[in-house]
Structure 1
């Protein structure tokens, strides 16, 4: 009887403990101006989507709080030859459905990034083969030497081969075509958070993964992510305590957030560069008054647009000082950034002469595609650009829209003139060279070169940069590629925007310069 009483007492204690845990539910409420467009980690190479899905899925190699490389699903990696990397996989890891993580999932996931519909081709386009050595060892063989490969795969998340096959999601769906599959709305990763509920553009709920292999530096049991597109509504929700974390804080509201006794704005430089792209491939420019030809094929027209943009005026009036005008498609903090390269001067008269010399003395009309809920003051920047271009008699038909329709449109290249922002996921200039400036092919090079800029010499240098291990030689090649691209006016760089997160003073978190937001480093006191 005594033994039975002890058993009953233990059972009662466990029950009390369980109810105590249930009573201690800790929820962090996060808001952003936009939503992740899918839960499929291979369907859209967009930093907000990868930030959100990165709480559920994981790469082989991740990032520490200082953005240095960190072991994730691989515990170690080494280069066994100039074109072969070997990864030792973490043992004892389970997907959220209980399926063990093995080398088969790695081989499957990398192959998945190369199928039609994948937006991650530019990360793996130089892969020759991914092979299983044993259940916990894989090798990646590349077509050419690839010394920065561990950095490159840090945003390629691993999926369960079994789950994808069972749910008819062996390939990502093509966001450009607007179709979906099971992986669009459901998720089965290895990460610290499980997807509990998904209501696109309304609410996404995550719950803590009790079987996570690593340490979760958070006291939260749940995270609720809510898109709030209206700036004033989002700020009001933070100030009232309705949400705990939000981004971005509009630059004009930073002081207001800081003056509130219960909130603060965390600001800092961001690695993202905002730029404009122009269609340089079509024989006739889309959505333009010019018929039978494409003005953007003429460098003089591209340069006229560049020199007509008052970037310092945009910094002062639109960004309120919270931007860093750029001459390149990468900024400070990215390996290969060339600090001494300068923008072309703002010069309206020179721009008018360039247009006239190109055969457009009276300007022309063209549509401009911009998001209105993705970057800091994105629509306002585009409005300012349109006003600037009006001074050289170019009429811009501005089409600003939500990222949910904007990205599919521009990614299928249904545009002649567009805005884009880019953070090199490797924190290295090669990423921008390969994804934004390389001539477009069907393997993933130039996948986000949406205007199809092409200079074979830049391509040649990009391949050399990928293989070069001597830092001085490599930096010289990067510089040469950037100089060629700048001389061609391949794109129009604008600026690096500044980060501004609004945070309750009850919340502790880590702000990363790539604007990713890992929930595992976020805690709240009640």
Structure 2
């Protein structure tokens, strides 16, 4: 062999080796870490869309998980829904009616203006007064009496009554810039010059039904994101979200269907992240006197609302196979529920037993209430709010029909069109959910079950208009009790009344929250099921 041939062979071997290295690097660059790291863009495939960019428009989850990117609150929560300092760095009760709050120094809004106590005053005054809100923040501020501005970074707030959860309650309010948004309507927040917050991202644009675009706030007071740009694509069908993830057009998806989990877990270029959540999925039973959209068993107008009778509500609960819903439809991605919070959470009443299917007892209760042949009703549900909500709604209709209820129709609508009608009381029986963001039961019990009182901002989530003075008395006492042992005892009693004695609504299950992401990304799962860019990092 000549020296020339040897040199050629060495060069060829070196070329093959370099080619192999380049191929390996190219394969790595197909991972989300390399693609996103190079482009500094994160694309999220979300299953639900906000109704407005105005963070005060509604407490609904899709709106809140959008707002959390752009706007901060006085109190934030970690992945386990524990409170942590946000724009407030400290707070203390000077007495049972007075709270002193110290604000974070050096914070600026996205337009460069400094954050001050005046912006907090403005935000707390605006939040409960947003017109046409389907789920108002008013109840969070129902005990606020007045606000004293001591200086730019110090506030003294007084309440109308003792309120141990007051700070957690006002901590749900997003803080806006008075200069940017005073006088603005909710629709005006589509303009980035109005949607000005102090959050980790700045709002760029929202194309309803398609996408929302954010850019990183490099001057954020907290941890800076790995991503310069975040695009949230609204993909409402499970199959389309999974297909988008597999094709690489999105980097992460939420609301992963249990049916897709085995396949996604088997893929080497996709990781799955899962956690048990605090979101209760429930069946609401409209008890408004004017709600008469019921028929007799043979289809004639009934002319009355059978759901106003607790025996009827209890009968319907006995027809629902919760374990079947979680085991067969959700394939284990949920836990049957008996009340507003799962075991281990403050306020969970161990005295409330699991409800098991008992059709004989259900028929006896219906007969006792004057409906021996049952009655007719339409069952309503959302089509893209949480995992398999459409399938769950269909299953509820089948379970009720199997138990002797005439199910005239099962109607499923997109969430954006569904929730205003649910809030207005237009559905007799409907699927809904409550996402716990406080890590205890008092806010949920008060919001969902306190007798509705618009003047006092009570029962703001009570879409069914359930009302029981005995419940109101107990929950009012709990909300004013500072001693944790006594307060939890009162919360237990309130839960027993609402769920076990009155069946104010039918608790179904607590969701498991599941995300899937391309290899190279790490996702910190949150028990409040918020899909946040702040929870996503490039794997180190």
Q: Does 1:438 align with 2:455?
A: no
Give secondary structure in 2 for the equivalent of 1:155: coil
Q: Equivalents in 2 of 1:102, 1:226: separation in Å? A: 34
2:341 to 330, 348, 351: 330
Deviation of 1:329 after TM superposition, in Å, equals 2.1
Q: Is the 8 A contact 2:274 2:513 kept in 1?
A: yes
1:420 to 432, 442, 452: 432
1:483 to 483, 496, 517: 496
TM-score, L = length of structure 1: 0.90
Deviation of 1:446 after TM superposition, in Å, equals 0.8
Compared CA separation, residues 210 and 380, structure 1 to 2 (3 A): same
Which one is further off, 111-120 or 444-453? 111-120
Report the counterpart of residue 212 of structure 1 in structure 2: 220
Report the counterpart of residue 307 of structure 2 in structure 1: 296
Deviations 1:450-469 (A, max 9, x none): 11111112111112111212
Q: Is the 8 A contact 1:249 1:265 kept in 2?
A: no
Q: Does 1:429 align with 2:429?
A: no
Q: Is the 8 A contact 1:228 1:234 kept in 2?
A: yes
Note the residue ranges of structure 2 that are not aligned, 5 or more in a row: 1-36
Deviation of 1:53 after TM superposition, in Å, equals 1.0
Deviations 1:74-121 (A, max 9, x none): 121111111111111122211111222111111111111221524111
Q: Equivalents in 1 of 2:84, 2:507: separation in Å? A: 31
Q: Is the 8 A contact 1:363 1:392 kept in 2?
A: no
Report the counterpart of residue 9 of structure 1 in structure 2: none
Q: Equivalents in 2 of 1:125, 1:104: separation in Å? A: 20
Q: Does 1:239 align with 2:246?
A: yes
Q: Equivalents in 1 of 2:190, 2:475: separation in Å? A: 33
Q: Is the 8 A contact 1:26 1:220 kept in 2?
A: yes
Report the counterpart of residue 12 of structure 2 in structure 1: none
1:114 to 123, 128, 133: 128
Report the counterpart of residue 280 of structure 1 in structure 2: 287
1:82 to 96, 101, 104: 96
Q: Equivalents in 1 of 2:155, 2:355: separation in Å? A: 47
Q: Equivalents in 2 of 1:284, 1:115: separation in Å? A: 27
Q: Does 1:230 align with 2:244?
A: no
Deviation of 1:333 after TM superposition, in Å, equals 4.9
Task: Please identify the structure whose Cα radius of gyration is greater.
Answer: 2
Deviations 1:385-436 (A, max 9, x none): 1101112332332111111101111112222211111122211111111110
Deviation of 1:192 after TM superposition, in Å, equals 0.8
Compared CA separation, residues 521 and 391, structure 1 to 2 (3 A): closer
Give secondary structure in 1 for the equivalent of 2:69: coil
Q: Does 1:197 align with 2:205?
A: yes
Which one is further off, 264-273 or 207-216? 207-216
Q: Does 1:70 align with 2:70?
A: no
Deviation of 1:215 after TM superposition, in Å, equals 2.4
Report the counterpart of residue 319 of structure 1 in structure 2: 330
Compared CA separation, residues 525 and 269, structure 1 to 2 (3 A): closer
Report the counterpart of residue 189 of structure 2 in structure 1: 183
Q: What pairs up with 1:326-365 in 2 under 5 angstroms?
A: 326-365=337-376
Report the counterpart of residue 177 of structure 1 in structure 2: none
Deviations 1:247-269 (A, max 9, x none): 11100111111111110211110
Note the residue ranges of structure 1 that are not aligned, 5 or more in a row: 1-22, 174-180
Q: Equivalents in 1 of 2:245, 2:350: separation in Å? A: 37
Report the counterpart of residue 519 of structure 2 in structure 1: 505
Aligned positions, number: 493
Deviation of 1:185 after TM superposition, in Å, equals 5.5
